Amino acid sequence: MKHNNVTKTNVMRILEQKNISYKSHNYADSDAVSGVEVAEILHENPNQVFKTLVTVGNSKINYVFLIPVSKELDLKKASSVVNEKNVEMIKSKELLPLTGYVHGGCSPIGMKKQFKTVIDVSAENFDTIIFSGGKIGFQVEVSLDDLKKTLVFDLADISK
């Protein structure tokens, strides 16, 4: 699959190396800040566009959660799913050294280290989900089955 004159992100390269078909969405020329704004610009259902949240548990272990941009992470449910007393969002300044990604461009694919990843169960309502392509302004759209080829994840009810 050739994307003419499209900037390729690491995420896209990883998907291609694993022969995973994906659709790329570009909003780099917009000033969208929130995930909901990104969904609006892309004319996509905000329940199908997911944000990648990196958290840290009581045990100092990091976890990655993907939830619809229209929702919030339910920290109680999230903690319970990963068997932690509680989890909290990591500080913005810790994101880049930990994952290799900047805030707003964080993708579950291609992080420096593979963390336990949980995707909100609502993802099953869609043939594909859309999430960060690893760079601000870029999103990728992938089916959950294809995502399993490159990412180990669980599905759980983690949003509110």
pLDDT in tens, the chain (160 residues): 444 446 799 999 999 999 999 999 998 888 877 899 999 999 999 999 999 999 999 999 999 999 999 999 999 999 999 999 999 999 999 999 999 999 999 999 999 999 999 999 999 999 999 999 999 999 999 999 999 999 999 999 999 9
- pLDDT of 1 reads 44
pTM over 0.85: yes
CA distance 19 to 41: 28
- CA-angle at 104, arms to 98 and 107, nearest 5°: 60
Domains defined along the chain, listed by start = 10-156 (3.90.960.10)
- Stretch (H or E) spanning 129: strand 129-135
- CA-angle at 65, arms to 75 and 114, nearest 5°: 130
Q: What are the CA-CA distances from residue 79 to residues 56, 58, 89, 112, 129 (Å)? A: 10, 9, 11, 23, 23
- pLDDT of 31 reads 82
Cross-strand bridge partners of residue 55: 63, 89
- pLDDT of 2 reads 44
Q: For residue 147, how many C-alpha atoms fall within 13 Å in the half-sphere facing its CB?
A: 25
- pLDDT of 28 reads 82
CA distance 52 to 94: 15
- pLDDT of 6 reads 60
- pLDDT of 29 reads 84
